[in-house]
Amino acid sequence: MLNIALFGPPGAGKGTQSEFLVKEFNLFYISTGDLLRKELAAETRLGLQARSIIASGGLVSDEIIVQVIEKTITEHPEANGFLFDGFPRTYIQCYILEGLMMKLNTSLNCLVSLEVDEETSVRRLLERGRTSGRTDDNETVIRNRLREYSEKTLPVLDFYREKGNYQRANGNQAIEKVTADIRVVVRNELAKYLVNVVVFGYPGSGRGSQGAALARKYGLEYVATGPMLDQEIKARTPLGQRIIGLYESGQLVPDEIVVQLIEKKLERSSGVKGFIFKGFPRTLVQSYILDGLLRKRGSSIARSIEIEVPTLELIKRLDERSRTDRCMPYDNTTAKIVQRLAEHETKTVPVINKYNQLHGVVKVDGMGSFEEVFARTSGVLESIFRNG
């Protein structure tokens, strides 16, 4: 997810620049001002409470702001990222935004501050007032809004300056020039963050070969727990001996083993562009572990893919594989294959459902040749690199 807050005094050009940001980076636009005006127009309880404050140019209470924002964010789990306009507007709202982002298991990438001098703001707002129909675009209220901005909103910058994710753009320039400057800031942000993708699918869906090929094509680190465990078996480590026993009885390897291996892998991969996870997380507990492992690195999951293949086809593929030298110790009998499919159903499907609610899992048809499926899975990765 790419989350940006556009900051600046009334009349800085936040609304105008938002239009370009939303299109270019495929973001979901949240303007608290627009949300409040909608509530006002619909004469809802919240709208009626906010009416007189908005009319005088004051700031609406945090209780009202939290309600309108939370509702909008939770109604759009599929969003690629959010663009906030007019929020956070007080120091306290910075903490509120942190909390809301945490709930979505993401964070604010950066706050872009559009800097304009006061007289430019007033001139632009008076001009806008001629056509906007907004009752708060008149000189008395405008001056009041600017006073509120200096007193209550400017401290927001201290919060992000301290956090180290605050950028500035000169908002006095021509619209196109401001756009170009913001574009550079956001592109730099995009280049900074890790692209982490989870590839889900039943055993036999092709998630392993697709995951490995995607990692090669996009220069990402492939993290597949299966091969990591096999490595331990091949190297005949004590861990490997324990793993063989578990495989033979068709059980999942305990989290403490898997987590150790993954943590080691993540630590050794500093400087990479991101990770493709396959075979992990396999349980709800592991999904929390992965969230924690990534958060520790200031990162999160960008996208999940689920490769879908009908059950009969899965069994056919696994059965065929069991008769070749690619046979894995955990799928060399029909009973083990059935057990693995059942394990996926009961333990991993709830993880997919959880991620689906959090950030939307992209379903990909796993039928057809490797190349056909690869074109589909690559399409998902392309969209992340294009839009974050």
Please report, as ranges, the residues that interact with ligand AMP according to CB under 6 A.
10, 32-33, 36, 53-54, 57-60, 65, 86-87, 89, 93, 136, 145
Task: Give the residue at shortest CB distance from ligand AMP.
Answer: 33
- Of 33 and 366, which CB lies nearer to ligand AMP in the complex structure? 33
Which amino acid is residue 79, in one-letter code?
A: A
- Of 111 and 362, which CB lies nearer to ligand AMP in the complex structure? 111
Is residue 293 within 8 A of residue 262, CB to CB? The reply is: yes
- Of 47 and 279, which CB lies nearer to ligand AMP in the complex structure? 47
Task: Report how far residue 84's alpha carbon sits from residue 104's, in angstroms, rounded to the nearest whole number.
Answer: 15
Task: Report how far residue 309's alpha carbon sits from residue 381's, in angstroms, rounded to the nearest whole number.
Answer: 20
Closest approach of Cβ 84 to ligand AMP, in Å?
9
- Of 99 and 368, which CB lies nearer to ligand AMP in the complex structure? 99
CA 228 → CA 188, 224, 322, 331, 385, distances in Å? 34, 6, 20, 17, 27
Q: Kindly tell me the burial class for residue 36, based on how many C-beta atoms sit within 10 Å of its own C-beta (0-12, 13-18, 19 or more).
A: buried
- Of 65 and 361, which CB lies nearer to ligand AMP in the complex structure? 65
What tokens does 339 get?
A: 């057990």
Closest approach of Cβ 126 to ligand AMP, in Å?
14
Closest approach of Cβ 265 to ligand AMP, in Å?
42
Closest approach of Cβ 247 to ligand AMP, in Å?
55
- The sign of the dihedral angle between the CA atoms of 116, 127, 84, 220 is negative
Task: Report how far residue 354's alpha carbon sits from residue 349's, in angstroms, rounded to the nearest whole number.
Answer: 9
- Of 136 and 181, which CB lies nearer to ligand AMP in the complex structure? 136
Closest approach of Cβ 59 to ligand AMP, in Å?
4
Closest approach of Cβ 66 to ligand AMP, in Å?
10
- Of 65 and 302, which CB lies nearer to ligand AMP in the complex structure? 65
- Of 54 and 229, which CB lies nearer to ligand AMP in the complex structure? 54
Closest approach of Cβ 154 to ligand AMP, in Å?
14
Closest approach of Cβ 254 to ligand AMP, in Å?
47
Closest approach of Cβ 321 to ligand AMP, in Å?
56
Task: Report how far residue 243's alpha carbon sits from residue 221's, in angstroms, rounded to the nearest whole number.
Answer: 24
What tokens does 1 get?
A: 């997810």
- Of 29 and 374, which CB lies nearer to ligand AMP in the complex structure? 29
